Structure 1
Amino acid sequence: MSERLTIGFLPLVDACLPILARELGFAEKEGLDLQLTRDITWATVLDRLLYGHTDAAHLLAPLAIATTLGIGRPSQPLAAPFVLGLNGNAITLRTELADAVWPEPALGEPAAVGAALANEAHKAAANGRKLRFGVVHRHSSHNYMLRYWLGACGIRPDVDIEIVTVAPPFSADALASGEVDGSCVGEPWNSVAVDRGAGRIVLATAQIWRRGVEKVLAVKESHLAERAEAVEGLVRAMRQAGKWFVDPANKESAAAILARSEYLDGSADVIGRAIADEIVLEAGGGASPYPDFMFQYNEAANFPWISQAKWLYSQLILWEGKPFDAADATRAGRVFRPDLYRQALRGTGDLLPGASSKVEGSIDGPLAVGAEQGRITLSSNRFFDGRIFDPDKIEDYVASRR
Structure 2
Amino acid sequence: MTGNLEQTELRLGFIPLNDAAPLIAGKALGLFADEGLDVTLAREVSWANVRDKVAVGLLDGAHMLGPMPIAATLGLSGPATPMIAPFSLNLNGSAITVSRALAQAMRAADPAGMARRPRAARPLRAVIEARRAAGEPPLTFAVVFPFSMHNYELRYWLAEAGVDPDRDVRLVITPPPRMAQRLASGEIDGFCVTAPWNALAVAEGSGEIVTYASEIWRVGPDKVLGVTAEWAERRPNTLQALLRALLRAAAWCDAPANRSELGAILAGPDYLDAPVDVVRPSLVGSPPYSPDEPGEASLDYVIYHRYAASFPWRSHAVWFLTQMLRWGQIGPQVDIAAVAESVYRPDLFRPAAAAVGQAAPLVEEKVEGAHAEPWTLDEATSPIRMAPDLFFDGRRFDAAQPQRYAAGFEIGRMG
TM-score, normalized by the shorter chain, greater than 0.5: yes
C-alpha separation in 2, matches of 1:166 and 1:199 = 16
C-alpha separation in 2, matches of 1:230 and 1:286 = 38
State which of 237, 246, 254 in structure 2 corresponds to 1:238.
246
User: Contact 1:280–1:287 at 8 Å: present in 2 too?
Assistant: no
State which of 82, 88, 104 in structure 1 corresponds to 2:87.
82
Over residues 296-330 of structure 1, what are the superposed CA-to-partner deviations in whole Å (9 max), with x where a residue is unaligned?
10121110000000000000111126432352442
SS of 1:373 mapped into structure 2: coil
1:386 aligns with 2:394: yes
1:8 aligns with 2:8: no
**Quick check: 241-250 or 45-54, which moved more?**
241-250
1:45 aligns with 2:53: no
C-alpha separation in 1, matches of 2:299 and 2:253 = 15
SS of 1:134 mapped into structure 2: strand
Instruction: Identify if the C-alpha distance between structure 1 residues 400 and 321 changes in structure 2 by more than 3 Å, giving closer, same or farther.
Output: farther
**Where do 1:24-173 residues align within 5 Å?**
24-102=29-107, 109=116, 112-126=119-133, 127-173=135-181
Letter in 1 for 2:308: A
1:196 aligns with 2:201: no
Instruction: Identify if the C-alpha distance between structure 1 residues 196 and 398 changes in structure 2 by more than 3 Å, giving closer, same or farther.
Output: same
C-alpha separation in 2, matches of 1:20 and 1:358 = 29
Over residues 202-257 of structure 1, what are the superposed CA-to-partner deviations in whole Å (9 max), with x where a residue is unaligned?
11111001111001000000111222111111111111112211222222221121
Q: Please report how far the alpha carbon of residue 286 of structure 1 lies from its aligned counterpart in structure 2 after TM superposition.
A: 8.4
Q: What is the aligned length?
A: 398
User: Contact 1:61–1:215 at 8 Å: present in 2 too?
Assistant: yes
C-alpha separation in 1, matches of 2:269 and 2:213 = 27
**Where do 1:242-391 residues align within 5 Å?**
242-275=250-283, 277-279=284-286, 290-320=298-328, 322-391=330-399
**Quick check: 363-372 or 390-399, which moved more?**
363-372
User: Any gaps of 5 or more consecutive residues in structure 2?
Assistant: 411-415
C-alpha separation in 2, matches of 1:33 and 1:112 = 45
User: Contact 2:244–2:355 at 8 Å: present in 1 too?
Assistant: no
Normalised by the size of structure 2, how large is the TM-score? Answer: 0.91
Instruction: Identify if the C-alpha distance between structure 1 residues 312 and 131 changes in structure 2 by more than 3 Å, giving closer, same or farther.
Output: same
Letter in 1 for 2:311: F
Instruction: Identify if the C-alpha distance between structure 1 residues 111 and 84 changes in structure 2 by more than 3 Å, giving closer, same or farther.
Output: closer
Instruction: Identify if the C-alpha distance between structure 1 residues 117 and 110 changes in structure 2 by more than 3 Å, giving closer, same or farther.
Output: farther
Q: Please report how far the alpha carbon of residue 349 of structure 1 lies from its aligned counterpart in structure 2 after TM superposition.
A: 2.2
Q: Could you tell me which residue of structure 1 aligns to residue 413 of structure 2?
A: none
Q: Please report how far the alpha carbon of residue 109 of structure 1 lies from its aligned counterpart in structure 2 after TM superposition.
A: 3.7
Over residues 152-204 of structure 1, what are the superposed CA-to-partner deviations in whole Å (9 max), with x where a residue is unaligned?
11101111111111110110111111111111011111111112211111111
SS of 2:67 mapped into structure 1: helix
C-alpha separation in 2, matches of 1:111 and 1:280 = 12
Instruction: Identify if the C-alpha distance between structure 1 residues 303 and 107 changes in structure 2 by more than 3 Å, giving closer, same or farther.
Output: farther
User: Contact 1:304–1:337 at 8 Å: present in 2 too?
Assistant: yes
Q: Sequence identity, in percent?
A: 38
Instruction: Identify if the C-alpha distance between structure 1 residues 368 and 111 changes in structure 2 by more than 3 Å, giving closer, same or farther.
Output: closer
User: Any gaps of 5 or more consecutive residues in structure 1?
Assistant: none
